[in-house]
Amino acid sequence: MIEFDAGTGFMLFLGADDLFMDIDKEITTFSKSLNIHMNNLHKESIIESKSTINLLLTILIVSIVFFTLITTIISKGIINSIEGFQQGLLEFFDYINHKNIDIKLLDETYKDEISIMAKVVNRNIVASQKRIENDKITIQNTIEVLSDFEQGSLHKRVTIETDNDSLRKLVTLLNQMGEKLESNINKTLNVLEEYSNYNYMEKIDIHGSKEH
C-alpha cells in the first residue's frame, strides 16, 4: 500500500519489508535450486567422465591384449616356418651325403615369404633329386658293365643317359673301350682260327694300339 506524507512530501510504501523478505526468499529458493541443479549436473558430468575413462581404458586393454596375441601368433608362425625351412634343408643335405635314402620337401603351408622361398627351394630339390637318382642308376649300370667285362663278357654297354657331364664322359669312354676290346678280341680269335687252319697269312692289326 502506498501513502503520501504531506509533511515531507514523500510517498510511503506500506509493507515494503514484507515485500523485500518475499523477494529475498524467492532469490534464496532459486539460488538453492540452482545450486542443487548445478551439483547434480556436476555429479552427472563426473559419472559420465568416469564412464568414458573406463570405456577408454577397457578399449586400450582389449587392444593391447589383441595386438599381443596377434604378435605372438605371427611370431610363432614365423619361428615355425624358419624351423621347418631349416629342418627341410638339413634333411636334403643328409640325402645328398647319403645319410638318408628319402627326401622330404620343405613346408609350404604357411602364407609368408618363407613359404615362397620354400616353394622355390622345393622345385630345385625335386630337380636335384631327379639328377642324383639318375646318376645313381648310371653308376650302377656302369658297375654292372664293368663287372661283365671282368667276367669276359664284352658285349654289354652302358645305356643310361645322364645330364652329368663327368658321368657322360665316363660312360662314353667305357663304351668305346668295350667296343674296342671286343673288336680286338674278335680279330685275335679270327687270326687264331686261321692259324689253326695253317693259314699264317693273317695278322693282328695293332694300328692305333699303345705299346706296353
Q: Quick: pLDDT tens for 129-143.
A: 888 888 888 889 888
Q: Quick: pLDDT tens for 75-93.
A: 777 777 777 788 888 888 8
CA dihedral 28, 33, 38, 40 (to 10 degrees): 150
Q: Quick: pLDDT tens for 181-206.
A: 887 777 777 777 776 766 666 665 65
CA dihedral 182, 187, 192, 194 (to 10 degrees): 150
CA dihedral 36, 37, 40, 45 (to 10 degrees): -140
Distance of CA 189 to the CA centre of its chain: 67
Mean pLDDT in the chain? Answer: 76
Percent of the chain with pLDDT over 70: 78
Look up the pTM and report it.
Answer: 0.52
Using the predicted structure, report yes or no on whether residue 172 has a pLDDT greater than 50: yes
